[in-house]
Amino acid sequence: MTLHIALYQPDIPGNTGTIVRMAACLGIHVDIIEPAGFDLSDRNLKRSGMDYLELAALTRHLDWSHFEHWRKSEGRRTVLLSTKAASNYTDFQFQPDDILLFGRESSGVPDDVHDSVDARLIIPMVAGARSLNLALSAAMVTGEAIRQIRK
């Protein structure tokens, strides 16, 4: 099994394209949980993803319930990155079949999604900082997960 990045109803095509490009380069699968806040054929998505969109392992899920059904059938853990979490992502033990879930840039994930995941992690920031860019957050956490898994 391989690590997955799941994007819950992403808002910004440039972030999604950057994440898809990173995932293609690292051999990681991307799951997009719809509806997205943009047309997935958006030119900004294509520009950010460049020619890597064709190389990417990408699955679109109609909604959260379809994603959850697939995830449970695969026996995978969902690890949510959230500003509402308490556990630091660098203290977590990642597994090769984990799904790293990132919420919408504008609003994160709803409470029912937050409550249904297997683990909730935070990227610690200095006091007063609200959030990091989604693509940057995905890169940081994916890098740590890969570091642990490929030891």
Gap between the Cα atoms of 116 and 112, Å rounded: 6
| Residue from 105, 29, 112 nearest 64 by CA | 112
Query: pTM surpassing 0.85?
Result: yes
Gap between the Cα atoms of 53 and 69, Å rounded: 26
| Residues sharing a CB contact under 8 Å with residue 116, sequence separation 6 or more, in sequence order | 68, 78
Domains of the chain: 4-149 (3.40.1280.10)
Per-residue pLDDT of the chain (151 residues; tens, 9 = 90+): 689 999 999 999 889 989 998 999 999 999 999 999 888 775 666 665 566 667 778 899 999 999 999 999 999 999 999 999 999 999 999 999 999 999 999 999 999 999 999 999 999 999 998 889 999 999 999 999 999 998 7
